Structures are given as structure tokens and as C-alpha cells.
Amino acid sequence: MCTIMGYCGKGGSTEEVAEVLKATVSRGPDDERIIELKDGVLGFQRLSIMGLTPEGMQPFELDGNYVVCNGEIYGFKTLRDELKAKGYSFKSDSDCEILLPLYKEYGTDMFAMLDAEFACVLYDGKNGEFIAARDPIGIRPLYYGKSDSGAMVFASEPKNLVKLCKKIVPFPPGHYYKDGEFHCYCDITAVDKVIHDDLDTVCKNIHDKLVAGVKKRLDADAKVGFLLSGGLDSSLVCAIAQRESDKPIRTFAIGMNTDAIDLKYAKQVADYIGSEHTEVIITKDDVIAALEDVIHLLGTFDITTIRASMGMYLLCKAIHEQTDIRVLLTGEISDELFGYKYTDFAPSAEAFQQESVKRVHELHMYDVLRADRCISVNSLEARVPFGDLDFVKYVMAVDPEMKLNKYNKGKYLLRHAFEGDYLPHDILYREKAAFSDAVGHSMVDYLKEYAENYYSDEEFELDCTKYAHAKPFTKESLLYREIFDKYYHGNCEMIVDFWMPNKEWEGCNVNDPSARVLSNYGESGK
């Protein structure tokens, strides 16, 4: 990961930008550069992943244009060769160096050309204007606000903006900002034509596109590792990666010291694929001690995101402290495409698709935010194969009737696509457990207990009345909200609401986001 920042207008200074960048040093610990332009300031903190030489340091400059980018551009070498044929030369092996030549050739049309996870701020010196953009899913973070002087300010994290802007807003994924307006260049959920192919054809395409998504994310000049929960999604990523590697990949799993559900499954997968596997064990004290830090680094009050971040943050912390790995592949974004436990209750195929569209649009506030912050705060980079643009577009276009759970098994299309010898059959067809539960049911129970003891019933009732947006509804949610407000006061609308199952569906009107409270949880997490 890296940190980017653009102070777009008069009134900013390199000193001011340097001060607010201190909040994200761990995101880009290798180098920092801040440059003052005629019309503003650009800042960059580097985590070296591609093009490790000093020539890969940003901002890049070309003919008076400048850019800072936090991103991975897949297939950049092909684009670079095409640009070389047009007469451009390159000083580094950084994938992001192609952005300014692309802008010279194609202008803002270039954003739709990128197969990438990225956020960038570009300064057009000829026109004296700033342009910003973000990938279609929002895997790379970007936020904005207005300074006291009225200048637009962009930054990777809200932590960079709290001292500069009263109101902080997430940059909409799949958009670019130009001339004071946001323009949608890609709605990743839009379906031009529904795919009505037979089951085997659909599953073959799912297989091939996910394999391609994993393969392209193995390309790095820094060392790569894998988060392995023992659930379907991360296990598939690891199994595919091991097939594509000529030596054992490194996998990492985490669990509570008392009742970790998934550690045994993660080890089973690791033994089966032959990875070099590491387990990290955590305790109640580890969880409670990390809670405030986790909420601060996340910039959210959402219950699900915070619960699921506890294990992920502590696992990534151990990887950072104990290894030289710099890139981690993860299993996020599968649920939004193929369904959760609660989408078994979808009343129709149309309702399933609408829910999937909603969840993909909101990913940048929940699971994707969790993966970015937990990994980047530990000076690591996240790569998300299930977020591959070609893969997401394809699965979104598959006839939703096929994605409904009509097979007595959730995510059947994904499971069927990888039947064979990728994974043990009982792992491939194991019921899903929520990550926060799979670390150990006790972890969530400890958090609830801590919150219950933090407030009396009277304090809870009174304190909840302070909130209008996303009003807390349990002592746990109130505790998270109050810690959030300590660091991001007045910016609760960065998160649209609490992540919860669709309460309008029969069987989903629950008061806790854990799948444990659903009637169909069954064998999940055993």
C-alpha cells in the first residue's frame, strides 16, 4: 500500500501536508515525497512493491503533468510496450509510471482502460487542474473534503483529512473527478446482457476467470503471502496460487486460544496443498487491548467490520513483525457475488441481484475497507482476486436464478466450478462460517461482554439518544460509535449504516449481524 494526497488549490503548504501525512506513515514506510505545484500540493508515501528502485518513487512527472497513485495495474507491461511504440520512454519498472503517458494519449478515457486496483490524483499542468479517480470496486481507498480555504483535498485515509476538513466523504468507486464534478466511468454492477448459459459453461468460466485473477496478482517484486481462514474463499485462492507456484507458498491463519473453529480447517488445507503454514493464537486480552486501535485505524463504527477486523489486524501485525512478506492475497468479495447465509432467504432472483448490486456498491465501506486498513497499517499490501474486474463483471451478469441457493448449498456455482483436486471435498462443500465467528465464537462474546459491562442500561438508553444517523441499537454498537467519534467526530456519514442482513426479508429481521443468529446457520462454523 501507499498513501497519496492532493491539496488542490491555493492555501495549502508542503509543511501542512507533511504534518497530516504523519498519520499514515505505516501505510508507506519506505519513502516520502511532497511537491508544491503552481496550483496546489501533491504528497506520496511509498510502500515498494513493483519497481523497487528509487526511480519508481512518485510523484511521476511528464511534460508538466504530475501524478500520485496507490495502485496495482495488471497487464501494465503490455500497455507500456504500446506506449513505447508511440515514442514514450520509462525510467522505472513501476506499473504506475504508465499513467501520465496514458493521460497524454487518452485523457480521462484512460480510467476505463485500466485493469487495476487504484486511487490516483493527477495534476494537468497545461490546464492547471487536478483530476482524481478510483477503481470500480474501491479496493484502494480515497476520501475527499474541502479545506477552510475552499480547496478540494484528496487523501488515502480520513486520518489524513481530519485536521484539514470538517466533512470527509468517501470518493465514489468507478468515478473520476474533474472540473468540480464526479463522472462515472464504470459501474461494475451494470449488466448489459444477462448470461443464460448452462451450468457447466458458467462454472467453467467462473473457474477460468478466478484462476486468471489469482495468477495476475502473484506478480510482485516483493514477497507474497496468503491469508488462509480455512473457509471456501481463501482456501480457493491459496489452492490456485499453489498450483501456479514452483515452491510452497506461505499461508497464515489466526484463532482464539480457546475455541478457534477454522484453525483446523486452515491446517487441513495447508497440508493438502503443501503450503508453508503459520498459525497465530490470540487471547481475550489481545482482543480487548486492540479494540480502540482497530476502530481508529478502520475509521468505522460498523459492528461486522470491527469484529472481523480484530483477527485480521492481529494476524497482519504478526506477519509484519515476524516475516519479510510485503503482499497478501485475501478472499474478500466472494460473498457479495455468490451470496451470504442470509441471501438464502432472498424472496426472488431479482431480489438476490438487487442485494448483490447494493453490497458491491457498498463494499468500499465494509469488507474492502477492513482488508485495506488491517493490512496497510502493518506496512503490507492487499490483493483481492475475487475483486478482479473481469471476474466480477462476469458473475454479476450470470442469470441470478442460477445464483439462488436451489442446491441446498450456498455458493454452489463457485464450489462446483472447482470440483476435482483443488481442495478436499469436505472443505470445498463445508458450510460457511463468518470470519469473526470462525476466529472463535468466544471473540465476539468477549466483545459483547466488554460492552455490556461498560454501560448500565440507563446509560445505554440515554447515550443512544445522541445519535440520529445509524443510531446504535446494542451496547456493543454504542461502544464502537463512541470510540469512532473520538477520532472522527462529525463524520459518521462516511459509513452509510450498520452492515446487517436485509431486514425486509422473512427470517432476516435480526438484531445482530452475525450469521449465527440466522435459522439456517446449521452446521456453519463447526
d(CA 217, CA 210): 11
DSSP letter string over 108-120? Answer: GGGGGG--EEEEE
Catalytic residue among 2, 8, 186, 316: 2
CB 284 within 8 Å of CB 449: no
Residue 436: what pLDDT? 58
What the block records as the C-alpha cell of 136 is 470500480
Residue 10: what pLDDT? 87
CB atoms within 10 A of CB 428: 18
For residue 85, pLDDT beyond 90: yes
pLDDT band at 518 (very low <50, low <70, confident <90, very high): confident
In the predicted model, what is the mean pLDDT of residues 268-277? 98
What is the distance, to the nearest Å, from the Cα of residue 446 to the centroid of all Cα atoms in its chain?
26
The DSSP symbol for 258 reads T
Is 254 assigned to a binding site?
yes
Residue 380: what pLDDT? 93
In the predicted model, what is the mean pLDDT of residues 284-310? 97
User: Hey, which residues does 212 pair with through a beta bridge?
Assistant: none
d(CA 26, CA 3): 9
Is 227 assigned to a binding site?
yes
pLDDT band at 520 (very low <50, low <70, confident <90, very high): confident
Residue 221: what pLDDT? 83
Residue 437: what pLDDT? 67
Q: Which residue has the cell 471435498?
A: 425
Going from the C-alpha of 19 to that of each of 25, 60, 207, 427, the distances in angstroms are 11, 22, 47, 48
Residue 441: what pLDDT? 81
| Structure confidence by residue, pLDDT tens digits, 462-496 | 999 999 999 999 999 999 999 999 999 999 999 99
CB 396 within 8 Å of CB 407: no
d(CA 177, CA 318): 38
| Structure confidence by residue, pLDDT tens digits, 16-58 | 999 999 999 999 998 999 999 999 999 999 988 776 778 889 9
CB 312 within 8 Å of CB 435: yes
Residues 6+ apart with CB under 8 A from 73: 79, 95, 96, 98, 99, 114, 115, 116, 118
CB atoms within 10 A of CB 397: 16
Global pTM value: 0.95
Active site residue 2: yes
| Structure confidence by residue, pLDDT tens digits, 408-453 | 899 999 999 999 999 999 999 988 665 556 687 889 999 999 999 9
Domains, in order of start, for the chain: 3-184 (3.60.20.10), 199-517 (3.40.50.620)
Identify the sign of the CA torsion 429, 431, 435, 437: negative
What's at 167, amino acid-wise? K
Indicate the angle between helix axes 389-397 and 349-362, nearest 10 degrees: 160
For residue 522, pLDDT beyond 70: no
3-state secondary structure 448-512: HHHHHHHCCHHHHHHHHCCCCCCCCCCHHHHHHHHHHHHHHCCCHHHCCCCCCCCCCCCCCCCCC
For residue 118, pLDDT beyond 70: yes
Residues 6+ apart with CB under 8 A from 85: none
Helix/strand number for the chain, H first, E second: 19, 17
Which runs of consecutive H residues, i.e. helices, occur in 73-150? Answer: 76-85, 99-106
d(CA 224, CA 291): 28
For residue 399, pLDDT beyond 60: yes
Residue 433: what pLDDT? 62
For residue 289, pLDDT beyond 70: yes
Average pLDDT in the chain? 94
Residue 50: what pLDDT? 72
What the block records as the C-alpha cell of 408 is 441446498
CB 117 within 8 Å of CB 125: no
Residue 110: what pLDDT? 98
3-state secondary structure 410-457: CCHHHHHHCCCCCCCHHHHCCCCCCHHHHCCHHHHHHHHHHHHHHCCH
Going from the C-alpha of 179 to that of each of 126, 130, 164, the distances in angstroms are 14, 8, 21
E-assigned strand segments in 299-414: 327-329, 381-383
